Structure 1
Amino acid sequence: METEFTELSGAEDLLESFPLHRACRDGDLCTLAGLLGEAVVSVCDASAQDPLFGWTPAHWAAHNGKVECLEMLVKAGLPCDIATHGTGLTLAHVAALEGQTACLAWLSKNGISINAQDHMGETAAHKAVRCGSVECLHILNQHGADLSLQSSIGSTVIDLAVQNHQRQCIEYFKAGGDSHLTNHMTCMNGRRKRMQTGEEALLDMDSAKRLKVESGRACITVIPCV
């Protein structure tokens, strides 16, 4: 899923000042190889964050599924687990959010922090669920993702799947016999029963009040004036 730069005023002009970022966004291997081969380009340049989204060249590559660009950047010395300042987005977060399975699979085999959490406390697995990508979720799960980790608002990956009605992700958890999903559904069912019981109790109280009022009215004796 490519970013809609046409909707961002001045984005093209801005990225003109960041040729590494632009090359990784476009998957321009020739330009990237030339830039990385220049003496003036260092690892610091390769890890520089643009003022548009605060992304490094590698984030652009992961976002747009450019595995070859990632390979070249890492070979040049860029770490795989680099994160953005402030938001804490890793390459895995960005790849999972865009459903970039090839990039995520490559990253998972090359030293990423699989359970790194961003400023929202979300892991790459949370982003995979937001995207609705069972493939990304499976890749992360196979490489040791901790599905019990909670975001800053207390949501696990399974909570997020249920809250966002991501049925394919929920079915994936069910198929794996995930105990967290079983516990979640048990809690949800218990909550529904408690709510239903509470509603029934309120209805019973309301009915009792109405009956009492009606009974009181029936007992009133009207004494005519003489």
Structure 2
Amino acid sequence: MTELHQAVAAGDCALVDEILKKGQCDPNDKDADWNDRTPLHWAAIKGTSRIVKRLVEHGARPCLRTDAGWTPAHFAAESGKLGVLRTLHSLHAPVDAADLYGDTPKRMAEIYGHKECVKFLETAETECRDYRLAAKLKGTQLDENDEAWELKKEELLRNEPHPQKKPTQKSRVKGA
């Protein structure tokens, strides 16, 4: 875990700002000990919209995924962090991306009973898809793919004993 990961996980906005200003930490660094979480994943977990914005301003990619395919929006939805979901959506983060098991942030909000998040994501998912379509029609390139995770996903699916069988919610590790 880098110094930036630690500062974000602690919710220390002043220290995050200091580290980012130095420019010596990669805001997209994935921590293998924590399921490939980036500092942006931690900001979404903590529910700190200010830190989410600062990280993105300094090059953090909202499309990066954990080893199970979770984006920052999955963590915000699981934790019921509506403010973070709104912030991610305003930054054109993929709030509709499915994880390795096909679950979207909206599904995580449903599972954990965060009704306000579900309601917001119902609209945000449509807006996200519309934004992508408009960008494609304009020829605008969007940063929406985590290439490293796509390779890892292919390997995981190849090595999975029963690729058609989706694990139950109880068999998954919380906070994948």
Question: What's the TM-score once normalised by structure 2's chain length?
Answer: 0.68
Aligned partner of 1:78: which letter? A
Following superposition of structure 1 onto structure 2, how do residues 92-107 of structure 1 map, counting pairs within 5 Å?
92-107=73-88
Segments of 5+ residues of structure 2 without an aligned counterpart are 128-164, 170-176
Asked whether 1:125 is paired with 2:106, we answer yes
Structure 1 spans left out of the alignment, 5+ residues: 1-14, 147-151, 161-226
Q: Does 1:24 align with 2:5?
A: no
Quote the Cα distance in structure 1 between the aligned partners of 2:3 and 2:28: 13
2:91 alignment partner, SS class: coil
Alignment map for 1:195-210 (pairs within 5 Å)? none
Is the CA contact 1:114–1:145 (under 8 Å) kept in the aligned structure 2? no
- Identity score, percent: 28
Measured after TM superposition, the shift of residue 19 of structure 1 is: 1.2
Residue of 116, 119, 141 corresponding to 1:138: 119
Select 1:48's aligned residue among 21, 29, 34.
29
Q: Considering only aligned residues, what root-mean-square deviation do their CA atoms show, in Å? A: 2.4
For each residue in 1:3-60, what CA deviation from the matched residue of structure 2 results, as whole angstroms up to 9, or x when unmatched? xxxxxxxxxxxx4xx211111112211111111111423xxx2111221232111101
Mapped partners of 2:49, 2:23: distance in 1? 24
Report what 2:22 is aligned to. 38
Equivalent pair of 1:125/1:145 in contact (CA under 8 Å): no
State how far apart, in whole Å, the 2-side matches of 1:154 and 1:20 are: 33
Q: Normalising by the residue count of structure 1, what TM-score does the alignment of the two structures yield? A: 0.54
Number of residue pairs aligned between Structure 1 and Structure 2: 132
The alpha-carbon deviation at position 82 of structure 1 amounts to 1.9
Q: Relative contact order: is structure 1 or structure 2 higher (C-alpha 8 Å, sep ≥ 6)?
A: 2
Kindly indicate whether the alpha-carbon contact (under 8 Å) linking 1:108 and 1:114 is maintained by their aligned counterparts in 2: yes
SS in structure 1 opposite 2:64?
A: coil
Kept after mapping to 1: 8 A contact 2:40/2:55: yes
| Aligned residue among 65, 75, 83 for 2:57 | 75
Q: Cα deviation per residue 1:190-209 (whole Å; 9 max; x = unaligned)?
A: xxxxxxxxxxxxxxxxxxxx
Residues of 2 paired with 1:106 and 1:71: CA distance? 7
Distance 2:85 2:23 in 1: 30
